[in-house]
Amino acid sequence: MGENVGREIELTVDRIAHGGIAVGRLDGRVVFVSDAIPGETVRARVSDDRKKSFWRADTVAVLEASEHRREHVWAAASLDRDPRGRVGGAEFGHIALAHQRELKRQVLAEALQRQAGLGPDDLPNPLAVDALPGDTAANGLGWRTRIRLHVDPQGRLGPMASRSHTVIPVTDAPLATPAVQAAIPFAERFTGLGTLDVLAPTVGEPRLVIGEQKPSVIREVVGEREFQLDDTGFWQVHRAAPVALTAAVQEAIDPTVFDPRADNLDLYGGVGLLAAAVADRFGPATRITSVESDERATDHASENLAEWVGASAETGRVDRWLRTLDSGASEADRARLRAATVVLDPPRSGAGGEVMQLLGRLAPAQLVYVACDPVALARDVALAAEHGYRLVGIRGLDLFPHTHHVEAVATLVRT
């Protein structure tokens, strides 16, 4: 800890950075400032000065407020609290909802320009980040169907403070759906436990998952379809996200390029949500293989995709699975792969160099890339360009209101 930690400074912030932190300068040094909005002048307290090139600081007072500033939607994260006692998980909660989406659009566009070398004319016009149904009317509240809370030494529940492992006890969770909020046992004590997950599936009652509890099977309804999965497994958090992503992926696929008889792939496929979206869009004869490293998720995907004769699910790490596919593919296999559409929904770190290189070697006709991290997406768009792929469409979705996170669905076509 340096001599400047705890020092209060005044500065004007001028843009938002990846990660949702505002950026300003003090005597030529970059300062990343939490709880500020571009255009504001704030007084901030330095929290980290270990790097010579930049400091981190937390807003403690707003001297000149943005027109987009609002009272924070979660009192436990508001400016009247000491920065060390503000909950994480709602870092945009002090910003008007429409402006949150504009800031996310800027971050997405900047990442594609800086990381992928795309100019303004290479991006869709307009590039937008769209709200999900119901969010505007609800002011971005009540959307989380799942929430993980941590347990402090006294057994009280709460999220962690931003960039900290300190648990902040709370008595409300305004981003959660009413069913989840009602199920959270705020008044109880859970001494000796690390985490408590609360979820409200679309079928059945809300439930608690305590610590490393053994998984049980739940069901989620998406449109007219039902999916089975573990209550401890991955599922989209926003109540409307599965329907929105299903539609976005269906729309992102160029039907003039899609071949239902090709060896189409759904990589990082989870329990088969997006593979089902593809098969629903292009009919019962569609061939598609979903690849997922979690064996239990793959088992569920096999059940969820059972009605499509050409659909299957395989367990494997995507990089290793593609490597095996590439090494053993016959000329006939390669022809079916060159005609294929590949949907990929990697974790926050993105697909990365080896996966993008293997996809470049296999040369499918189009890639539909679902991303929750703009910088990882932009890096992989640049890697795909090295193998002849061009970004022909991208759409942002605001699956995480009042946070900096943004989802994007991009289409890349081999030229």
Catalytic (active site) residue 372: yes
**Run of H or E residues at 8:** strand 8-16
Q: SS3 for 352?
A: helix
**Run of H or E residues at 382:** helix 374-385
389 carries a ligand binding annotation: no
CA max distance for the chain: 67
Q: SS3 for 410?
A: strand
106 carries a ligand binding annotation: no
Tally Cβ neighbours within 10 Å of residue 350. 22
Candidates 411, 407, 340, 413; CA nearest to 132 is 407
User: Are residues 289 and 314 in contact, defined by beta-carbon separation less than 8 angstroms?
Assistant: yes
263 Cβ neighbours under 8 A, 6+ residues apart = 287, 289, 333, 336, 337, 339, 340
Catalytic residue among 57, 356, 372, 397: 372
345 carries a ligand binding annotation: yes
Q: What angle do CA 16, 22, 28 make, to 5 degrees?
A: 105
292 carries a ligand binding annotation: yes
Q: SS3 for 373?
A: coil
CA dist., res. 321 & res. 201, Å (int): 31
Task: Give binding residues for S-adenosyl-L-methionine as ranges.
Answer: 236, 268, 292, 345
| Residues noted as catalytic | 372
Task: Give binding residues as ranges.
Answer: 236, 268, 292, 345
